[in-house]
Structure 1
Amino acid sequence: MLHHVVRRGRVVGALLLASGCSSGGGEGPPDVQPGPDASIPDAGPDAQPDGPVEPGCVEFAMPTDADCAAPIDGVLPVDLRCTGLYGDFDKRELACGVLEYKPAMELWSDGAEKRRFVSIPKGQRVDVSNPDSFVYPEGTQFWKEFRVHGAGGASRLGETRLLRKTAAGWVYTSYVWSEDERQAIQMQNDFGVPDLHGTGHAVPTRDQCKECHVGRVDFVLGWDALMLGPGAEGVTRESLVALGVIEDGSALALSIPGDDVERQALGYLHANCGVSCHNDHPEAAAQETGLYLRLEASELGSVAATDAVRTGINKRPAENAKYEGLTNPDPANWYAIRPGDPARSLLVARQELRDFEGQMPRIGTRKVDNAGVQLVTSWILGMKEGTGYPPPGP
């Protein structure tokens, strides 16, 4: 069993309205694992969350018939019921202070249906002074629920991932739902679940979770000025100001530049490639490739100013690029992005690749996102000199 399981104690409440998810699994990486004094303070079995009570919501109460105890070195509960997500677990009614949200741009997960939930400690604020790198208060929790599809096509609860910020850093795990959907328990080891209940859905390993999340300064994927902008549901940058969760949202009024095709393609690459891996953070998995696809606040004045254009167009792939599985494995054939020519753009080829190391996204997917491929292909086909793009490289 994973080593971080919470002591019976209080669950942090939230300053968010009643309800309207790059990824968890495994305990925190070594540099943020909680120390012996980092567990949540002990409280009695009737401990209550300290978030506000909203009319019609269900207050969370620590269950007495669930495994909410912890081993000596743990901080996360064995049972999902103990995390504070649901006020009424059997009815799947969210606890007071937990808010459901949907970002404007979503990470591809092989078509799985996802729901995302968040709680912020009462009276605390998210630091958004750097619109590219939010910083969250201790006690913040994010959950992401996956519904997966079996052979018959019917959807069912598969897993719920949890991130919790402690004094020592972020800890995280995945809760696997039983086949009858009556219970969700921490996965039994750090090695993930390669084929959950025969659905083809893979619960990520501890190392896979770390690989994605360490590309963010404060670990969380799916929350930034753009993902909470137009198209977001449940939680938006405007609602966070109204709720007092952020002090000033003026710096967050950002938008993706370009026409419809450019905006959609850049947003897709931001969410699926740039936020976690393809950026200049020293620990980002794809930092050394030099191909950066995250949209930075200071570079949104024009399409030409974005990292995707500056580091991708007519750039040869890095020396350590992988070509196995491609129809043409000759490195001389490829550019990261070749204007007007998706067939020689490695970005597209890797979107279409599966079952080889060079596939993109590299982990968490076994199926090609055809809609995403079409978005990026359309963008590249529209890169003409008359619209501000350079001519294609030789």
Structure 2
Amino acid sequence: MKWTLLLITTLFAGACSRAGDPPVSFHAQGQPEKLSDWHVVMADGKRLRLNAGVEPYALNTALFSDYAHKLRTLWLPPGARAKYSGDAAFQFPVGTIISKTFYYPRATDGAKNAVLRIAEQKDESRDGLDLAKMRMIETRLLVRRKEGWVAFPYVWNEEQTEAVLARGGDIVPLALHEPKARGIVLQIDYMVPDENQCAGCHATDNTSRLIEPIGPRARHLNRDDPWHPGENQLTRMAATGRLEGLPLNGVPRNARFDDANEALDARARAYLDINCGHCHSAKGPADTSGLWLDAATRDPIRLGECKPPVAAGQGTGDHMFDVVPGQPDDSILVYRMSSLDPGAMMPEVGRTTVHAEGVALVRDWIKAWLGTCSSSASARSAAVSN
């Protein structure tokens, strides 16, 4: 079975890469100015291709980024393996390169910045990306060097032949077209994060402040492999020699937030985990808020039930509690997710639009909560928060 899977890997890599492509180039130091210096993903103006040995992967529920689609890839040095962890990010060897390319399907009106606000379609990235149909925005690299992880944001040129390092970030004007409602267009300024913002989100431990991957964790990767139907991503990683220590059972799994067949609580918790939990956790940068939204948290008060905010102000919207059972309109959590005010919106970076589907899910989740915020309950919440 292992050799069969290895053969499949080789065939898949060959379908995306070309004979004569230079091998992936890991830069142990410096700041390469061009994405092509790494030879991870390559564009010729017609297709974006993955180099040999570069494997795509998907998450159960993904971070919202202004409705952008994402092609995620992982490259490990030949013969190297990641080490499994049930909760934390996998331990990746020095030389690992993780990439995430942000793009949108083009709208049909011909304008260069006209894109569609639609869900990712099955097989749209199976053989790379058709650049005639896709508007490339940015590719972010997370590189494991000897001293730790380093983030590099690259922005694509108009010809879609190269992406250039944008250490200070960038702003890309876009017109989001709603295909189901003709004539509805949302003008946004898509924000490419700068290096410090990349590092800020990926420093999930407020004590160490070390950068680490967010997506490549067991609960996010434990799903079917879109590029190899019928296979589980983690099982395949282990079978192809890229992951060690995968247990036979007990592997955690987050729900798909948009799968109505899954439980409402599981879907909402998965959404909050990937979008908020890397900051709002016992160790995260927002630990002092007392609102912990990561997958490990089970205490209703830590999840916001009748919990007054640590700091008042415009971020509360004049609401008293993070979550009011059965009352999403009175809950600070929904207010901040629905806001575009820089002083109130959550997450603080990574979006310039409201994720309507995500907000609707969290609203339904709060509606299903039972109870009321009595004075005694809120007093207990305040004690926990402090």
TM over 0.5: yes
Deviation of the 1:59 alpha carbon: 5.7
Structure 1 residues 57 and 178: CA distance shift in structure 2, 3 A: closer
- Contact 1:342–1:377 (Cα < 8 Å) also in 2: yes
Alignment of 1:190-339 (within 5 A): 190-195=167-172, 200-215=189-204, 219-230=212-223, 233-234=226-227, 236-250=233-247, 253-256=251-254, 260-274=263-277, 276-281=278-283, 284-296=284-296, 306=298, 310-318=302-310, 320-324=311-315, 328-329=317-318, 333-339=319-325
Alignment partner of 2:18 out of 51, 58, 67: 58
Give the strand-richer structure, 1 or 2.
2
Q: 1:19 to 1:354 in 2, by over 3 A?
A: farther
Deviation at 1:151, TM superposition (A): 4.8
Within the alignment, does 1:17 sit opposite 2:14 as a pair?
A: no
| Aligned equivalent of 2:75 | 119
The one-letter code matched in structure 1 to 2:138 is: E
Q: What are the superposed Cα offsets for residues 78-108 of structure 1, whole Å, 9 maximum, x if unpaired?
A: 1111212136755422111101111111111
Aligned to 1:153: 115
Aligned to 1:77: 32
- TM-superposed CA distance for 1:152, in Å, is 3.1
Contact in 2 for aligned 1:79/1:185 (Cα 8 Å)? yes
Asked if the contact 1:128/1:135 (under 8 Å) is kept, the reply is yes
Cα distance in 2 for partners of 1:393, 1:76 equals: 55
Inter-CA distance 60–130: structure 2 relative to 1 (3 Å threshold):
farther
Residue 59 and residue 348 in structure 1: after superposition, are their counterparts in 2 closer, same or farther (change >3 A)? farther
User: What is the root-mean-square deviation of aligned Cα atoms in Å?
Assistant: 3.3
Q: Does 1:371 align with 2:371?
A: no
2: distance between equivalents of 1:344 and 1:86? 46
SS in 2 for 1:115: strand
Residues 207-262 of structure 1: CA distance to partner in whole angstroms, max 9, x if unpaired? 21111000166510111111112366447222222222222322662245996111
Correspondence list, 1:126-205, <5 A: 126-148=82-104, 151-153=113-115, 155-187=134-166, 190-195=167-172, 200-205=189-194
Query: Given the superposition, is the C-alpha separation of residues 92 and 224 from structure 1 closer, same or farther in structure 2, using an over 3 Å criterion?
Result: same
> Is the contact made by 2:85 and 2:217 (CA closer than 8 Å) also made in structure 1?
no
Superposed CA offset, 1:109-159 (max 9, x none): 111121111112222221224532322111111111111466533651111
Query: CA 1:79/1:262 → structure 2, altered by over 3 Å: closer, same or farther?
Result: same
Q: Which amino acid aligns with 1:289?
A: S
Q: 1:179 and 1:87, CA in 2 relative to 1: closer, same or farther beyond 3 A?
A: closer
Equivalent pair of 1:293/1:308 in contact (CA under 8 Å)? no
Structure 1 runs not aligned, ≥5 long: 1-13, 21-52, 300-305, 385-389
Alpha-carbon displacement from aligned partner over 1:41-80 (angstroms, at most 9, x marks no partner): xxxxxxxxxxxx76874367449xxxx999xx95242111
Distance 2:285 2:92 in 1: 22
Aligned to 2:49: 93
- Structure 2: runs of 5 or more not aligned: 1-5, 107-111, 117-133, 176-187, 256-260, 376-386
What amino acid does structure 1 have at the position aligned with 2:237?
L
Q: 1:60 to 1:358 in 2, by over 3 A?
A: farther
Q: 1:83 to 1:354 in 2, by over 3 A?
A: same
How far is 1:197 from its partner?
Answer: 7.5
Contact map agreement 2:55 2:75 (CA 8 A) in 1? yes
Contact kept? 1:54, 1:97, Cα under 8 Å: no
Kindly tell me: are residues 248 and 321 of structure 1, through their superposed partners in 2, closer, same or farther at Cα, counting changes over 3 Å?
A: farther
Alpha-carbon offset, residue 361 of structure 1:
1.1
2:381 maps to which residue?
A: none
**How far does the alpha carbon of each residue in 1:189-209 deviate from its partner, in whole angstroms, 9 at most, with x for none?**
x32113358862111022211
Q: Which residue, out of 351, 367, 375, partners 1:381?
A: 367
Please give the alpha-carbon distance, in whole angstroms, between the structure 1 residues aligned to 2:26 and 2:264.
51
Q: Distance in 2 between matches of 1:75 and 1:60?
A: 26
Q: Residue 275 of structure 2 aligns to which amino acid in structure 1?
A: N
Moved more, 360-369 or 74-83: 74-83
- Tell me the percent identity: 27
